[in-house]
């Protein structure tokens, strides 16, 4: 099978004048090479497509693939992660990972929390700020936590994200609105343990790969899994496999979220406890990073003894099973 690889190469956007933070979610050449080599080791013929612009040109030229391994994050708007899947759907080209509806929904953290809460899954109380004037209507008790509604890789998260006064809330929201040009999610601050759960598979066949606990070291920015902590994780963060009752509860909640939102093939579900130890849904990442060393999902798999090519095989197996099932319908 000929497998195309769709991606946003970070170096290309940096050359165009985008900043380090603006390109934080994009992939470096090391990730593209690792995916390419893993696919080839599994017997696939690979073709590096690149970003959505390249995909548009090649689809228009009537090029097709048996499957596209899509890790393109997109650039503009809250539907950016849905751009490549929507194009591939329009041209009836199958692909790995979630469909455009799921990609757009989960990128908007407020909408995702609404649906998860409606399913009876615990998530922190929240409000969405579209304009600085909306802050006056927020009656949630302090402390609070603020972040861009469609950010990833902890972009826009810093120690200033933890809000302990009404004045700080207004100031932080104004800064985020001006900097990131998107709504701001305001939610009750959760002061307990933080977990990310790796998931592989789709629907009833989805299974948890394990639970990774994010433990901030003494030299880390306190209380938050911030952009700086995440980018300098080797010095600031300790990743540990969670076990026992906490891990079992996290896996169960993650799978409810994954299936309830209709996510496919592989990704992560982020959870955090309150001070009483109650788990809450934070967000889901159906387009999780796949850097062969640094990405949370890969770190989790490594700690569980799952090699990188094995992870890619599991992702491909899930996608191919969906493809065969759809063809049989």
Render pLDDT for 169-226 as a digit per residue (tens, 0 to 9). Answer: 999 999 999 999 999 999 999 999 999 999 999 999 999 999 999 999 999 999 999 9
Q: What is the mean pLDDT of the chain?
A: 96
| Contact call for residues 242 and 179 (beta carbons, < 8 A) | no
Q: Where in the chain is the domain with CATH 3.30.1490.20?
A: 125-188
| Contact call for residues 299 and 289 (beta carbons, < 8 A) | no
The CATH number of 125-188 is 3.30.1490.20
The CATH H-level (homologous superfamily) assignment of domain 194-328 is ATP-grasp fold, B domain (3.30.470.20)
Q: What is the pLDDT of residue 329?
A: 53
Q: What percentage of the chain has pLDDT greater than the value 90?
A: 92
Give the model confidence (pLDDT) of 49-83 as tens digits: 999 999 999 999 999 999 999 999 998 899 999 99
Q: Where in the chain is the domain with CATH 3.30.470.20?
A: 194-328
Q: In what order do the strands lie in the sheet with 144-148?
A: 126-129, 184-188, 144-148, 162-163
- Predicted confidence band of residue 227 (pLDDT cuts 50, 70, 90): confident
Q: Give the angle 99-101-105 at the CA atoms, nearest 5°.
A: 120
Cα separation, 105 vs 10, whole angstroms: 24
Q: Which one is the CATH code of 2-95: 3.90.25, 2.40.320, 3.30.70, 3.40.50?
A: 3.40.50
Q: What is the pLDDT of residue 328?
A: 64
- The mean pLDDT of 88-115, rounded to a whole number, is 97
Q: In what order do the strands lie in the sheet with 207-216?
A: 237-241, 207-216, 194-200, 266-273, 279-285
Give the model confidence (pLDDT) of 133-160 as tens digits: 999 999 999 999 999 999 887 888 999 9
Q: Where in the chain is the domain with CATH 3.40.50?
A: 2-95
């Amino acid at each position: 099978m000929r497998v195309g690889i769709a991606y946003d190469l970070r170096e290309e956007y940096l050359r165009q004048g985008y900043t380090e933070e603006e390109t934080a979610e994009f992939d470096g050449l090391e990730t593209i090479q690792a995916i390419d080599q893993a696919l080839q080791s599994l017997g696939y013929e690979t073709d590096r497509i690149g970003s959505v612009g390249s995909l548009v040109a090649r689809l228009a030229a009537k090029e097709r693939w048996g499957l596209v391994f899509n890790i393109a994050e997109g650039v503009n708007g809250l539907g950016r992660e849905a751009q490549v899947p929507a194009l591939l759907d329009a041209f009836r080209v199958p692909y790995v990972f979630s469909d455009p509806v799921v990609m757009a929904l989960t990128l908007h953290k407020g909408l995702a929390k609404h649906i998860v809460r409606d399913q009876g899954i615990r998530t922190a109380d929240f409000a969405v700020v579209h304009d600085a004037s909306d802050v006056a209507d927020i009656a949630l008790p302090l402390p609070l936590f603020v972040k861009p509604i469609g950010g990833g890789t902890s972009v826009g998260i810093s120690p200033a994200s933890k809000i302990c006064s009404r004045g700080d809330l207004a100031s932080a929201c104004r800064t985020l609105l001006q900097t990131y040009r998107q709504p701001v999610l305001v939610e009750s601050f959760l002061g307990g343990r933080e977990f990310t759960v790796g998931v592989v598979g789709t629907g009833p066949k989805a299974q948890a790969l394990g639970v990774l606990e994010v433990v901030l070291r003494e030299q880390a920015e306190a209380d938050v899994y911030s952009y700086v902590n995440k980018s300098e994780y080797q010095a600031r963060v300790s990743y540990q496999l969670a076990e026992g009752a906490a891990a079992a509860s996290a896996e169960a909640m993650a799978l409810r979220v994954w299936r309830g939102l209709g996510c496919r093939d592989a990704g992560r579900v982020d959870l955090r406890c309150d001070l009483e130890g109650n788990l809450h849904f934070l967000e889901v990442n159906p387009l999780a990073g796949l850097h062969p060393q640094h990405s949370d999902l890969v770190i989790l798999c490594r700690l569980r003894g799952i090699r990188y090519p094995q992870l890619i095989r599991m992702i491909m197996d899930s996608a191919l099973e969906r493809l065969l099932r759809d063809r049989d319908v």
